[in-house]
Structure 1
Amino acid sequence: MGKTKIGSMLAILLVPFMMLFAGMGTTASADDNSLQKIKDAGVLKVATSPDYPPFEFRATINGKSEDVGMDIEVAKQIAKDLGVKLKIMNMDFGSTLVAVQTGKVDMAITGVNPTEERRQSVDFSDIYYNGGQSFLIQKKDAKKYKSAKALHGAKIGTQTGSLQQTLSKKYFSDSTLSSMEKTPNLVFALKSGKLDAVGVETPVAATYVENNKDLAMVNAGYTLDKNETGAAVAFAKGSDSLAAAVNKSIAKIQKHHLTDDYLKTAAKYMKDNTKDTSMMHYWKYFYNGFLNTTLIAVVAVIFGILLGILLVLMKLSAWKVLSWPATAYIEIVRGTPMMVQVLLVYFGLGAIINLPALLAGIIAVALNSAAYVAEIIRGGINSLDKGQKEAAQSIGLNKVDTMRFVILPQAFKNIWPSLGNEFISVVKESSIVSIIGVSDLIYQLNVVRADTYRAVAPIVVVMVIYFLMTFTLTRLLNHFERKMNHD
C-alpha cells in the first residue's frame, strides 16, 4: 500500500527538528532494548490509520466503535505472542511513520510498503501480505477495459504520493494521470465520470466492487518487486530485537495462512457496516466528532484569550526583554501553517511529555489562536483615545489599574466582533487536528466515508453540523454585542 494523507511530506520534513527538539537521535543506541521496553511496559503501542478497508477501518461492535481489519488482527497476534496488551493509536497515515521515528509508538501497521526511500527513515519487518495491484473501473465499461492494456490513453487516478501513483507514471505515461489525497474521492470521481480508472491494491479494489454494484476491477498487470510492494510493519531505526520478535509472529501468520482468516473477518465487518449506510446509523460518530470539535474550540479560545492578553502586554512593554520574545512568537505563529504547529506540538513536545492526541491538539490550537488574539487586542488598545489613559492617571490610577479597569474593558468592547470571528475561525480550523488522530468532525467524516463507501452524504452531514455550530455561535455573539452596546 502506498497511501498517504495531507501533511505527510510536512511531517517527514519536520522529523529532524522534532528529533533535535526532543533530544533524540534517529540512530538507535548500540544496546537495543526496543523489545524489552515493551515487555517492561506491558503494552504494545501501534499506530494505524483506520480509513482503508480491508486493511484497517472501524466497525460498531456491541454498540461500540472499534478498530478492525487485517492489520488490526496482525497487531493482535504480535501483541499476543509478545505477551503484552495492545494499544491502537489512530492518526493520519502521513503521521504514522513520524510517530514511529519520534517514539510516540512502538510500531506502525498501516499496510505500508517497505520501499527503499522509506527504509532511509525507518526499519521494516518481513512482508506479511502481498495482495497485488488492480484498477477500479465502472461496471458499464467492463467490456471496453477488459484488461489494463486498454487503459493506455485513458484518464487514470491514484492517491497522491502512493505506490500506485509511481507505477501509473511508469507504465501509463501516455495516459492522463491525476491524483487526490483520499481514495473515496477518487472513487467518487470515477463514478461521476471524471476518471476512467483508479489504481489501488487488489484487496481494496475487491472491497469496493463487493460493496458497489456500479464498479468492476481489472488486474493492473504490473511486474513488481514483492520486497517493496507488500505490506510490512515499520519500526524505529535500530529496533532489531523488536523486529526479530515481530518476524517470528509474521512467520507464524504465513505458515498458518492467517491473513486469509483475517480478511474473512474483515469482510464480515465490512458487510455489517454496509447493511445500513444511512447517516442516521452513524449518528454516534458525528456526535462524538461534534463533542471533540466543540471541546477543542472552547478550551483553545479561553486559553488563547488569556495567553493573548499576556502576549499583548509583553509586546507593549517598554522592556525589550519582554517585547521582543512576544513579537517573535506572534510573527512565527502567524507565519507558519497550523498543521505544522500541530505536528510540532504532538511529535516534538510530545516526545518529551507523552501528550494524548486530544490534549496536544488543544494546546496547538490555543497557541495558534493566542497570536491572533494578541494582535486583535493590540488593535483594540491602539484604537482608544489617549485621553482615556491620561484621565485614569489624573484620578490616581497606576499603570496596572489603568490597563485593568479602563483600557482593557473598553478595548474588549471594541474588538468583540473580531474576537467572535476568531472563535468561529477556531471552530473550523481546528479540523486540522484530525491528522494526529483526534476524533473531531473531519476525522469521523473520513471514517464514515471509509465504512459506508458513500462519498457525498457524510460530507453534507458534516457541512450542516459546522454550519449549525457557527450560525448558533454567531447569533450568540451578536446577542452579547448588542447587550454591550446597549450598556
Structure 2
Amino acid sequence: MKLSKLGQFWWLALLSCLVVLSLGGNAQAASDQSLAQVKAKGTLVMGTSPNYPPYEFQINEHGKSKIVGMDVEIGKQIAKDLGVKLVVKKLSFDSLLPALTTGKVDMILSGMSPTPARRKNVDFTNIYYTEGEAILINRTDQAKYQTKKSLAGQKVAAETGTLQYNLIKQQMPASKLTGMSSAANLILALKTHKVAAVVKGTASATAYAKNDPSLMAIDGHFKTSSAQAGNAIALKKGSTSLKVAINQSLTKIKAHHWIQKRYLKTAGKYLKVNTADTSMWHYRDYFAKGLEYTLLIAIVGIIGGSLLGMLLAMLRFNAVRPLRWLATGYVEFVRGTPLMVQIMFVYFGIGMIVDVSALVAGMIAIVLNSGAYLSEIIRGGIQAVDAGQTEAAESLGLSKGATMRYVVLPQTLKIIWPSLGNQFINLIKDTSMVSIIGVTELIYQLGIVQADTYRGVAPIGIAMVIYFVICWVLTRLLRYYENRLNRGHARQLN
C-alpha cells in the first residue's frame, strides 16, 4: 500500500520520536549505576521488619537469633543470581521506606504492597507473591464476627503504613480503625480484647491462627486493584538496572514455583522451631542481649549528656551573646521536639552525609537529647547557689574560673543531685525509643519474642522486671552518693 507525502511525513515523525525516546531511555539506563554499585561492594542490603511470619521473622536457633522466612529465601536467591552476599538489616516497618530513600538499604523485601502512594517515592519490581487479606478474630467470637460487615462499630486494627490499614479505612468505614506499629502489639491487643479483629495478609493470618488455638482467621473478601494486589520489592527511585536484574530472578523463582515448593515450606519448618519451646527461659539470650544494649546506650547517654549539659550550661552564662543565643536556641529546639523524631533525623537525615550504624545513631541522639535537659538542671543549680558565696570567693582573690570550679560547682552538685537522679532514670527508659531504627535493645527484643512465641503478656512482664531492677539499683547508688554528699557538707559546716 502506497502512502501519500503527508502520510510519509507523519510516519517519519513517529519513527523519529520512537528513536529519541529509545535513546533517552538507553541514556537513562546507562546513567543508572544501581546494579554496578551493588556488585562493586559485593553485598545486597535487604531491609525488613522481622515480625511478620511466614514472610520474615526471627527464630532462636541454638541460642542465637536468626532472621528467616519466605522473603529471606527470596532475597538469598536474588543475591546468588547477582553474585553478591545478602545482608539483612532489621528495622521497624515504618522506618523501611526512609531507610531505602536515604541509602541505608538497597531494597525492601518485607511483604510490602506496591500501593500508588508508595510508587510516588520508590520503584517496585514485578509482583512476586499474591495473596488475599484475612481477618483474625478470637475463636470465642466466631459466632459474632463472620464477615467484615459484622464488625461494624467495632475496633479493627492493622499495622500503620500497610495495605491492610488502608483497606480498613476504605472498605470498612463503619468500623473503628486502630493503627499500631508492631504486628506483635496487634495480636496482643486482639487477645486481650482491646480490638475485635486484626486485618493481615492471608499467609501471616493463617500462620498466627495455626500456632495459636485461641485465634482463627476468616476470609476478608477485600477488593484490591491490580496496582495494589500482591507483594513486590521496593527499590530506590531510578534503580532501573537493579530492578531489571531482580525481575529476572523473580521470573525464575516464579517459573520454578519455588515459593510454594520450597520457601513457604522452609518458613513452616522454622515456625515449628519457635513454637516448640515458648518459655521465656528459652529466650533468655534475647533479653540478655537487649539488656546489654540498653545499658550501653544508657551509660553513653549519661556520660555524654552530662558533659554536653555542662558545656551548654556554661555557655548560657558566657559573656559573648552569640554563644549564649546558640546554647539557648539548641536547648529550646531539642526540648521542643520529640526524642523519636530526633533519633530518626540523626539516623536517616545526618546518615545521608555520614554513614553511621543504627546503634551509633541512637547513642548520638540520646546524648544530644539528654544534654539539653541536663543543661537546664545544671543551670538552675548554679543560679540557686547563694550569690554571697561567689562574692566571698572573689574577695579572696579567686578568679572566675576558680570560683566556679572550687566554690559554685561543688554546691551546685549537691543541690541538683536528686534532679540528676530522676533524669538518669528517665534516660534509661528513653533508650526504648531507639528500637524504631532497629537497635536490638530491650524493647526491640521484647517485640521479637512476642512475634516468635505468639505470647503477648509474658515478654512484657519480663521486660518490666528488668527495667525495674535497673532503675532500682541506680536509685540505690544515687541515694548512697547523695548521703555521702550530705555528710561531707555537714562536716564542712562543723
Structure 1 length-normalised TM: 0.91
Match of 2:368 in 1: 367
1:468 is the counterpart of 2:436: no
Match of 1:273 in 2: 274
After superposition, what is the alpha-carbon deviation per residue over 1:445-476, rounded to whole angstroms, capped at 9, x for unaligned?
Answer: 11000001111111111011111111111011
Match of 1:385 in 2: 386
Could you tell me how far apart the structure 2 residues matched to 1:431 and 1:83 are? 38
Count residues in correspondence.
460
Match of 1:203 in 2: 203
Rg larger in 1 or in 2?
2
Match of 2:230 in 1: 230
Could you tell me how far apart the structure 2 residues matched to 1:177 and 1:116 are? 21
Match of 1:342 in 2: 343
1:107 is the counterpart of 2:107: yes
For structure 1, which segment, 218-227 or 258-267, has the greater mean C-alpha deviation from structure 2 after superposition?
218-227
Within 5 Å, which residues of 2 pair with 1:148-167?
148=148, 150-152=150-152, 155-167=155-167
Match of 1:440 in 2: 441
Q: Return the letter of the residue paired with 2:33.
A: N
User: What displacement does 1:369 show?
Assistant: 0.4
Could you tell me how far apart the structure 2 residues matched to 1:252 and 1:317 are? 68
User: Does the C-alpha gap of structure 1 residues 194 and 103 become closer, same or farther in structure 2, counting only changes over 3 Å?
Assistant: closer
After superposition, what is the alpha-carbon deviation per residue over 1:374-402, rounded to whole angstroms, capped at 9, x for unaligned?
Answer: 11110110000112212222222211222
SS at structure 2 position matched to 1:58: strand
Q: Return the letter of the residue paired with 2:111.
A: G
CA RMSD of the aligned region, Å? 1.8
Could you tell me how far apart the structure 1 residues matched to 2:189 and 2:472 are? 31
Retained in 1: the 8 A contact 2:114–2:227?
yes
Match of 1:395 in 2: 396
User: Does the C-alpha gap of structure 1 residues 350 and 29 become closer, same or farther in structure 2, counting only changes over 3 Å?
Assistant: farther
Could you tell me how far apart the structure 1 residues matched to 2:184 and 2:44 are? 31
User: What displacement does 1:257 show?
Assistant: 1.3
Within 5 Å, which residues of 2 pair with 1:235-274?
235-260=235-260, 261-274=262-275
Within 5 Å, which residues of 2 pair with 1:66-465?
66-148=66-148, 150-152=150-152, 155-260=155-260, 261-465=262-466
User: Does the C-alpha gap of structure 1 residues 155 and 379 become closer, same or farther in structure 2, counting only changes over 3 Å?
Assistant: closer
Q: Return the letter of the residue paired with 1:225.
A: S
User: What displacement does 1:109 show?
Assistant: 1.2
Retained in 2: the 8 A contact 1:303–1:366?
yes
Retained in 2: the 8 A contact 1:92–1:437?
yes
Q: Return the letter of the residue paired with 1:213.
A: P
SS at structure 2 position matched to 1:136: strand
User: Does the C-alpha gap of structure 1 residues 173 and 231 become closer, same or farther in structure 2, counting only changes over 3 Å?
Assistant: same
Match of 1:53 in 2: 53
Could you tell me how far apart the structure 2 residues matched to 1:463 and 1:182 are? 18
User: Does the C-alpha gap of structure 1 residues 194 and 361 become closer, same or farther in structure 2, counting only changes over 3 Å?
Assistant: closer
Q: Return the letter of the residue paired with 1:287.
A: A
User: What displacement does 1:83 show?
Assistant: 0.8
After superposition, what is the alpha-carbon deviation per residue over 1:118-163, rounded to whole angstroms, capped at 9, x for unaligned?
Answer: 1111111111111211111233444554555554565533333432
Q: Return the letter of the residue paired with 1:258.
A: W
User: What displacement does 1:89 show?
Assistant: 1.2
User: Does the C-alpha gap of structure 1 residues 330 and 268 become closer, same or farther in structure 2, counting only changes over 3 Å?
Assistant: same
Q: Return the letter of the residue paired with 1:62.
A: H
Q: Return the letter of the residue paired with 2:325.
A: W
Structure 2 length-normalised TM: 0.89
Retained in 2: the 8 A contact 1:130–1:226?
no
Q: Return the letter of the residue paired with 2:191.
A: K
User: Does the C-alpha gap of structure 1 residues 154 and 484 become closer, same or farther in structure 2, counting only changes over 3 Å?
Assistant: closer
SS at structure 2 position matched to 1:188: helix
User: What displacement does 1:66 show?
Assistant: 1.0
For structure 1, which segment, 433-442 or 50-59, has the greater mean C-alpha deviation from structure 2 after superposition?
50-59
For structure 1, which segment, 453-462 or 387-396, has the greater mean C-alpha deviation from structure 2 after superposition?
387-396
Could you tell me how far apart the structure 2 residues matched to 1:96 and 1:454 are? 25
